[in-house]
Structure 1
């Protein structure tokens, strides 16, 4: 049965498969660790008192940042793989249907709904068009940028003979200017992702309350439930 054919007679629809849900929560934790440790790497703590051998706080912060970064990288690659082999909803943020008029019309409707200019939201089984487009631009490509620049910066410390330097540092740093420029861009995009996450959390909670369809619980159980009998929009909008 297609999404467009589903009606209120179907009380719940299975949307997000287990790999997507597991990735989502691991990814959220990784971003939290990366943001906190990245902030302190960019704005280090003042010198610690006492013997240097007794203080390794910044070393632990950097280690946590690098460990979370590799978890983030592996998770992103796994999520990209699942976008190719998973169900239709697993592909939405990687391959939004931006060449369809319905996608942009639906995104405009959702934007007006978020700004309280539309009285009624539309029902979608997966991501609504605005969510799919914004996640693709800000999260997917933002993640790619952070992974590439992060590996380029890591390659400087790993040395000229490291694979990180060979495949990333050797061309990304000259492309963006110099090492400090890469640090600056990496730091700025971190803030872009932080703002995106804050908006994402707000919208998800808001929609769970106001749109009469489950969002938070859906990313836990995988099932989307609806609280009214309004028509569900077809996947062509996303």
Structure 2
């Protein structure tokens, strides 16, 4: 079942329609409260993970004074581990809401790759982002390109980071811990611990690149696409300007 709507005329019934300065503005409820709360908590967790993860890989210079009086790297590691748990629990909760929430909540977890119309709409959006098309298609949920990016970019990278992160955490938690029992197989799969560290760090830069593109695309659509993107993840309503 496709949840995309290539034009406003084919969108679900609008909750509100007003006229401002000669423009018709239509509003459609898209993202429920749990999705919006998860989005911003997830953004905070990823920010903390990126910053602390960088310093774990490139530790700060030696601090002056007694070692017992300097626990800065310990606090950085603690923040990294806490944010990692928050990220993992958040993804689990988001998966649950995909089952009980509205159909827009499920867009993150699957892409209609076997539908010919989906690929046609995706290439149309590519033309829009390449400044070839004059106007984009209008979609109540994620547009086809964003949907593919969220699934293959955000979701897959996040799951990779969770699995490799808990595998590395299991080393410190020692044999027999639940982290080691569930994710200990990852280290021999990659070869050795250092290989997992390297791939985990590469995943960090992949996530940073995704976040940059995600923020750019959201702001660009707000300005050029004549539809709300950023504010939609705050209010839950997507507005379209005619």
Give me the TM-score of the superposition, normalised by structure 1: 0.92
Q: Are 1:103 and 2:125 an aligned pair? A: no
1:181 is aligned to 195
**Equivalent residue runs for 1:60-209 within 5 Å:** 60-169=75-184, 171-209=185-223
* Alpha-carbon distance in structure 1 between the residues aligned to 2:172 and 2:129: 45
Structure 1 counterpart SS, 2:109: coil
Q: Are 1:30 and 2:45 an aligned pair? A: yes
Give me the TM-score of the superposition, normalised by structure 2: 0.90
Q: Shift of residue 5 of structure 1?
A: 5.1
Q: Shift of residue 96 of structure 1?
A: 1.5
Aligned length: 226
* Alpha-carbon distance in structure 2 between the residues aligned to 1:118 and 1:223: 26
Gaps of 5+ in 1: 229-238
| Higher RCO (CA < 8 A, seq sep 6+) | 1
2:21 is aligned to none
* Alpha-carbon distance in structure 1 between the residues aligned to 2:126 and 2:11: 25
Q: Shift of residue 6 of structure 1?
A: 3.9
Q: Are 1:219 and 2:233 an aligned pair? A: yes
1:232 is aligned to none
Note closer, same or farther for the CA distance 1:107–1:158 as it changes in structure 2 (3 Å cut). same
Q: Shift of residue 72 of structure 1?
A: 0.5
Deviates more, 1:150-159 or 1:9-18: 9-18
Note closer, same or farther for the CA distance 1:80–1:121 as it changes in structure 2 (3 Å cut). same
Note if contact 2:30-2:141 (Cα within 8 Å) is conserved in structure 1. Answer: yes
Gaps of 5+ in 2: 18-25
Structure 2 counterpart SS, 1:13: strand
Note if contact 1:215-1:224 (Cα within 8 Å) is conserved in structure 2. Answer: yes
* Alpha-carbon distance in structure 1 between the residues aligned to 2:101 and 2:11: 21
- RMSD, aligned CA: 1.4
